Amino acid sequence: MKLLNKYWGTIVKKSILAITMALIGCTLTSVNITKASEKTYTFEAAETIFMKSDSPEVAVHKMENGKIIKTNDKADIYDAKGTPKLWRANSVNVNGKDWWQVSENEYFNTKGSEKLDKSNIADSSENGIKYANYTPDLPNYDGKDIVFIAADPKSDNMTIDLYKDVNGKLVNTGKSVNAAKGFSAQYWKANKVNVNGQDCWQVGENLYFNSPQVKKLDLVHNDTSEITNYGNYSDGDTKSEVVNEIFLFNGKGDYVPVMELQNDGSFTKIDNRELKSNTNWKIDKIRNYNSKIYARVATNEWIDVTDYAVQNQKNYIN
């Protein structure tokens, strides 16, 4: 029996909220599993950049009322060894000025930045590059239980923090993990433990989840034999072939709205432009905006794949 076809076509809050109860206590029907991606990105982006500056920090800006403003936050340019940090980034133009977007609402000035030439790196695969704004899959850990990250009913948050045990206390590692990979929720092998009187889930050697969003999968009512999208457990086939096709679906109508990418990185609906539901479309780029994933189907024509697409039994670009 395959997992998740009926209940999970998207990854956003409303989808995860809708399936949380099914995952905890109900039997899952036939589904299609997406193979695990090699990396779990906290920010989807097309380019890789680093900063060149005599200063050890770079100013962090944010979008507010359609304008980029400087915040009091700063990001370290170098790691502990003095090596420049790398960021996945999207180039955006806001009010005529170019910026690097490095998270949902964090921007770097392009001045002093440089795009990475991967041809000069011996191992230029995603496994060979460490970025400052994503968390890779965790090391293998064969816990007896399986957990997933349910939606936060009070926000669109899709990530939780990762902790470690330092002298008997849980300490935030500064890293986070995503509730999903591409369109599919991901799972972790885990053991429930108690650290200094606090119940939490151990998901690796000295790696812990400590969030009320973490839920245990009901192993009695759910067939887990074909789960492959683990965040900390290799099933022997973790290399997804890149497939760039989506299947459009609108449960409330016959058509799917088409969006246009704006200079500030947001999306607006294109009037008099829709695509037929229940059709397949090739995509060549993806973007993450306000916790939703958008895929490009034509020149500056994008689909909100979080709400209006499923994978059509194929792996999603990641």
111 and 148 assigned to the same domain: no
pLDDT of 72 > 70? The answer is yes
173 and 281 assigned to the same domain: no
What is the Cα–Cα distance from 25 to 51, expressed in whole angstroms? 48
User: What mean pLDDT comes out for the span 290-302?
Assistant: 81
Within 8 A by CB and 6+ apart from 228, the residues are 33, 34, 35, 36, 235, 237, 238
User: What mean pLDDT comes out for the span 253-266?
Assistant: 89
207 and 256 assigned to the same domain: no
22 and 90 assigned to the same domain: no
- Given 108, 128, 148, the domain boundary residue is 128
Tell me what the pLDDT averaged over the chain comes to: 74
Question: Which among 5-9, 27-31, 206-210 has the top mean pLDDT?
Answer: 206-210
Task: Work out whether the CA dihedral 224, 227, 230, 233 comes out positive or negative.
Answer: positive
Q: Does some domain include residue 140? A: yes
Of the given ranges (33-42, 63-72, 93-102, 275-284), which has the lowest mean pLDDT?
33-42
34 and 162 assigned to the same domain: yes
138 and 174 assigned to the same domain: yes
Q: Using one digit for the tens of pLDDT, what is the confidence trace for 134-157?
A: 656 788 898 999 998 887 767 656
59 and 202 assigned to the same domain: no
**pLDDT given for residue 119 in this prediction:** 65
The string of DSSP letters for 47-69 reads EEEEE--SSSEEEEEEEETTEEE
pLDDT of 2 > 80? The answer is no
Count of other CB atoms within 10 angstroms of residue 115: 12
115 and 140 assigned to the same domain: no
What is the Cα–Cα distance from 104 to 43, expressed in whole angstroms? 7
Q: Report the Cα 307 to chain-centroid distance in Å.
A: 15
Q: Does some domain include residue 2? A: no
- Given 62, 93, 128, the domain boundary residue is 128
Supply the pTM of this predicted model.
0.45
Q: Which has more pLDDT, 268 or 4?
A: 268
**Planar angle of CA 44, 50, 55, nearest 5 degrees:** 130
74 and 212 assigned to the same domain: no
Compute and round to an integer the Cα radius of gyration of the chain: 20
25 and 138 assigned to the same domain: yes
Q: Does some domain include residue 104? A: yes
Look-up of token digits 């936050």: 73
Write down how long the chain is: 318
Q: Does some domain include residue 290? A: yes
- Given 72, 93, 128, the domain boundary residue is 128
**pLDDT given for residue 307 in this prediction:** 85
Read off the pLDDT band of 21 (50, 70, 90): very low
**pLDDT given for residue 310 in this prediction:** 67
Q: Does some domain include residue 306? A: yes
**pLDDT given for residue 206 in this prediction:** 93
**pLDDT given for residue 297 in this prediction:** 86
Q: Which has more pLDDT, 236 or 247?
A: 247
Read off the pLDDT band of 211 (50, 70, 90): very high
Q: Which has more pLDDT, 192 or 89?
A: 192
Q: Does some domain include residue 238? A: no
User: What mean pLDDT comes out for the span 233-261?
Assistant: 69
**pLDDT given for residue 290 in this prediction:** 72
Q: Which has more pLDDT, 69 or 26?
A: 69
pLDDT of 164 > 70? The answer is yes
What is the Cα–Cα distance from 3 to 26, expressed in whole angstroms? 13
Read off the pLDDT band of 182 (50, 70, 90): low
Phi, psi for 262 (deg, rounded to 5): -95, 165
State what percent of residues in the chain have pLDDT above 70: 67
Measure Cα distances from 307 to 25, 183, 208, 292, 297 in Å: 25, 10, 31, 8, 15
Read off the pLDDT band of 225 (50, 70, 90): low
Q: Does some domain include residue 315? A: no
279 and 164 assigned to the same domain: no
How many domains does one find in the chain?
A: 3
83 and 156 assigned to the same domain: no
What is the span of the domain harbouring residue 93? 47-128
Q: Does some domain include residue 74? A: yes
pLDDT of 263 > 50? The answer is yes
Q: In this structure, what CATH number is given to the domain that contains residue 97?
A: 2.30.30
Read off the pLDDT band of 308 (50, 70, 90): confident
